[in-house]
Copies of this chain bind each other. A is one copy, B any other.
Amino acid sequence: MSILIDKSTRLLVQGITGREGHFHTARMLEYGSNVVAGVTPGKGGTQIEGVPVFDSVEEAIKETKAKAAVLFVPPKFTYGALLESMAAGIKLVVTIAEGVPIKDMRQIFHLNRAMDDVFVVGPNSFGVISPGKAKAGFMDHNIYIEGPVGLMSRSATNSYETVNEMTKQGIGQSTCIGIGGDVIPGSSFSKFLPLFEQDEQTKAIVMIGEIGGVDEEFAAEYIKNNVSKPVIAYIAGRNAPKGKKMGHAGAIISASGAGSAQNKIAALSAAGVQIAESPAHVVELLKKVL
């Protein structure tokens, strides 16, 4: 099964003619992703790696029936590209760009409330991968193997670290999602938990959070009431300086203690989630529940 994407997902790449867009289109195709269209305004009619390029998402959908999009567009154009995909009827939009203005994502987040069948992943995301099936993003797919663990992470590097350790020890993944570490991600843990809970392939869920925001706390609330599968969480930033900005603007510890690693760990523990001390520890805990 897996969630969000698989071999049949008709994927379009926005910004396909750019350096990163082109390079990762090739890698996605190589991995088996069903990339059916690219979009770059003004470049319609050309091809990239055999994939037809269109001027607009609407046109690409009309011609190829694309259902998901991955955006390799610069942060200042991300807002427009997201709106275009959402307005055109794309149901999964994965955004890679780092440095998307928070106001833009605030608008997208609230617009998404009115389009609740649309999943916005990112920005600042490595993408989504269902190992052995398909990927939409730029992660190094060699470290992934197919298996029973669903993973969601706010940090790309920490998720690679964790997946790498899992794979070394023979534990595969159903789907891995890069939520992105921005202040306002399009979607966070809680939006994907119901999908993992329902997915037959997924037997355990790994959440990699970090300080800042309250998404881990929301997830804890949801898990307590709705998730029967084992959940393991790793929260980065216990020793990060208070109030310092860590690139992920989300990693700001609020004055009241909400958003701190301590708070998150307490909330998750209370919801029955096992807390790992490090990426390697995630795998040790996984072994016990699988």
Q: How far is the CB of A193 from chain B (nearest CB, A)?
A: 20
Number of copies: 2
**How far is B115's CA from A116's CA once the two chains are assembled, in angstroms?**
10
Q: How far is the CB of A103 from chain B (nearest CB, A)?
A: 18
A290 within 8 A of B: no
A255 within 8 A of B: no
Residues of B within 8 A of A113 (CB): 113-115
Residues of B within 8 A of A115 (CB): 113
Residues of B within 8 A of A114 (CB): 110-111, 113-114
A:91-140 near B, CB below 8 Å: 110-111, 113-116
Chain B residue with Cβ nearest A115: B113
Residues of B within 8 A of A116 (CB): 116
**How far is B111's CA from A110's CA once the two chains are assembled, in angstroms?**
10
Residues of B within 8 A of A110 (CB): 114
Q: How far is the CB of A91 from chain B (nearest CB, A)?
A: 16
A:190-224 near B, CB below 8 Å: none
A:170-201 near B, CB below 8 Å: none
Q: How far is the CB of A48 from chain B (nearest CB, A)?
A: 35
A:114-168 near B, CB below 8 Å: 114-116
Q: How far is the CB of A186 from chain B (nearest CB, A)?
A: 15
Residues of B within 8 A of A111 (CB): 114
**How far is B113's CA from A114's CA once the two chains are assembled, in angstroms?**
5
**How far is B114's CA from A116's CA once the two chains are assembled, in angstroms?**
8
Chain B residue with Cβ nearest A116: B116
**How far is B113's CA from A116's CA once the two chains are assembled, in angstroms?**
9
Q: How far is the CB of A86 from chain B (nearest CB, A)?
A: 12
Q: How far is the CB of A47 from chain B (nearest CB, A)?
A: 37
Q: How far is the CB of A108 from chain B (nearest CB, A)?
A: 12
Chain B residue with Cβ nearest A110: B114
Q: How far is the CB of A120 from chain B (nearest CB, A)?
A: 14
Q: How far is the CB of A41 from chain B (nearest CB, A)?
A: 27
Write the A259-283 contact mask toward B (1 if CB under 8 angstroms, else 0).
0000000000000000000000000
7 contacts between A and B (CB under 8 A): A110-B114, A111-B114, A113-B113, A113-B114, A113-B115, A114-B114, A116-B116
